[in-house]
Chains A and B, each alone.
Chain A
Amino acid sequence: MLRYTMGHLAQALLLVLGVVIAIFCLLQLIPGDPVQAMVGDMPVPPALRASLEQRFHLNEPFFERLLSYLSGILHGDLGYSINYRRPVFDILAERLPRTLLLAGTGYAFGIAIGVSIGIHSAITPHRGVDRAWSALVLIGYAMPTFWVGQLLVLLFSIHFGWLPTQGMGPMISRASGIDWLLERATYMVLPVATYTILEMTRAARFMRASVSETLEQGYIVTARQKGLSRREIISGHVIRNSILPVITVMGYSFGTAMGGAVLLETVFSYPGMGSLMVEAVRARDRQVIVGVVLVVACSVVVMNIVVDLLYAWLDPRVRIGSAKH
């Protein structure tokens, strides 16, 4: 298990390094004068130009620039945002937890509900029920998620007036303790609900496919012949065996959840990583764009490692199989 873990970690590190180098190379391809891009639409005094070139190593050869860029990242130096007038690292440290809170909550609800729907859809003796679930899931899957968010806003905020439309909390809040939490929570309901719908449709589709496959396995027939009840077979054999591949798929789709944040946070004006990316693209704030891309890449890689290890731990065949190769 230790060897398996180390191997995975090494691969992941290489992947992140690859992403960083790829981004760095892409940045070199941008036409135009980098100093001018930093300063904006103003004439650059020669002294400022010299100091900027010195500071960002602009006149050094490619490999030296790459090395200083990499060592900067290792020291937590992701550059400086011209738009926000703050170090990129600080902005990211503020925004990332918010996105993780939003995406994580939606993820948890979505998987729980989706898996239940998938199981019910696969084991129900009524064809009509299965079809209805499948149709519902397909339609949910086809709708652009941010548009679902807009529909929820239309219904629950504008039509019924029950929930706030956007933001993370009121501008001025006098609440404290539990009240403060509840106040915050009302702002989270709609974004979390939208996230839940996105993850739910995915989980339901995979779970239904996985359960149907498990039901055809020989050991289910054996269990039935042993005289186990339907309930025992489903809870003891079917769900356990079907949920493994679903865990993997859902783990790998974590990156998609991070991508979803870009649009959902914009719909709800939620100040997380996603809306940061959009603001940075609009303001052409390159250092921030690169910072967000890096953080997203790293979190996806970390999540993939977690899934791989979890899977190997849950299913010994995986780690034994890989040791043989």
Chain B
Amino acid sequence: MSLDLVRRLFATRFGGTGAVILVAISLLSIFAPLFATTGPLDVGLPSLQPPSWAYPLGTDSIGRDVRSILLYAGRSSLTIGFSAAAMAFLIGGTMGALAGYFRGPLAAVLLRITDLFHTLPAIIIVLFTVALMGASFWLQVAAVALAIWPIEARLMYGQFITLSEREFVLAARAAGLPTFHMIFREILPNAVPVVIVQVALDASTAILIEAGLGFLGLADPTRPSWGEMLNRGQEYLDPAWWMSVFPGMAIAIAVLGFNLFADGVTEMFNPRASANVAPKLEG
């Protein structure tokens, strides 16, 4: 069954490409030690060397191999992407599901809270949180999740409202099945395709927000990430373009991967739908 799903994904316009990109960058970061020549924090190479055979992506201002940092930094960036998306799904999905299933005053309150968060641009919410609480790695993940959950809540609310009107749900309700069964066995499984798409898009948004935060020098300084690399590169844009160009490319490729994958999944479950458009939260 899962093999069949993969085959269907590869039959879509972009889905296969997206999946390949995602698998490739995940493997490169997980097995970073195999592809990197030095550790991410090892200094001592000649500094500011342009790309060459010895250093394919050049070296940075304190004599580190850009290729090695890039591989290890992928770990932080992808971890933030996946975990922030998962956390946003948990918060937003729960809020949306509760509002959509129980409706009434509870829904009104939950939706107003969602609106409240939706009013502010994501990067502002993240900066505000980081300014108040500091920027340890997991706090950063939480801040990003806090910024993107409203989309997830809106989406889940919409799904619950639509699906609740469908015959099989009405039948289950008429049969007097318990609430737990209604939510987890009847409604939720039917919302899965839409949720997968949204979580993938959220992950790409999270990576972009992290990039912004790192670029501003506000990310956890003890863990190299693509955004943090761009922060170091900014100062050396003139003598060492490679310090900024390659991390930016890595971010763009990862984000592209998530978006193509999401497009593919949308097309797979709903061939007539045009490409899903994610609201770009990062600037």
Contacts and interface: CB of A to CB of B under 8 A. Distances in A.
A150 B248 contact: yes
Interface in A126-173: 134, 138-139, 141-147, 150-151, 153-154, 158
Nearest to B274: A209
Given A147-B230, A151-B245, A205 B252 contact: no
Q: How large, as a class, is the contact surface on chain B? A: 35 or more
A15 B115 contact: yes
Which label, helix, strand, loop or mixed, suits the secondary structure of the B interface? helix
Nearest to B132: A30
B119 interface: yes
A78 interface: no
B199 to A, nearest CB: 17
A206 B277 contact: yes
Contacts of B216: 262-263, 266, 278, 281
A277 interface: yes
A284 B283 contact: no
B58 interface: no
A19 B216 CA distance: 25
Given A146-B212, A297-B119, A154 B241 contact: yes
Interface stretch (B40-48, B66-74, B120-128): B120-128
Contacts of A145: 282-283
B275 A209 contact: yes
A141 B116 contact: no
Given A150-B234, A150-B248, A262-B127, A281 B218 contact: yes
Interface string B239-283: 001001100100111011001100000000000001101011111
Contacts of B124: 258-259, 262, 277, 292-293, 296
B252 A139 contact: yes
Contact of B259 (A141, A154, A278): A141
Contact of A259 (B130, B218, B281): B281
B211 interface: yes
A24 to B, nearest CB: 13
Contacts of B252: 139, 142-144, 147
Most buried by B among A255, A257, A297: A255
Given A26-B132, A205-B275, A256-B281, A147 B248 contact: yes
A262 B274 contact: no
Interface in B197-220: 204, 208, 211-212, 215-218
Interface in A253-286: 253, 255-264, 266-267, 274, 277-278, 280-282, 284, 286
Nearest to B122: A259
Nearest to A144: B211
Interface residues of A, number: 61
B62 interface: no
Given A262-B127, A289-B128, A18 B112 contact: yes
A22 interface: yes
Contact of B248 (A30, A139, A143, A281): A143
A138 B282 CA distance: 15
Interface of B: 112, 115-116, 119-124, 127-128, 130-132, 204, 208, 211-212, 215-218, 230, 233-234, 237-238, 241, 244-245, 248, 251-253, 255-256, 259-260, 274-275, 277, 279-283
Given A150-B230, A267-B234, 20 more contacts: A18-B112, A22-B116, A29-B132, A141-B280, A142-B259, A144-B211, A144-B282, A146-B230, A150-B234, A151-B248, A158-B238, A158-B241, A198-B283, A256-B280, A258-B124, A259-B283, A263-B216, A264-B283, A278-B127, A297-B119
- Closest CB pairs A-B (n = 10): A260-B283, A259-B121, A147-B248, A142-B256, A142-B255, A209-B274, A259-B123, A281-B131, A143-B252, A263-B283
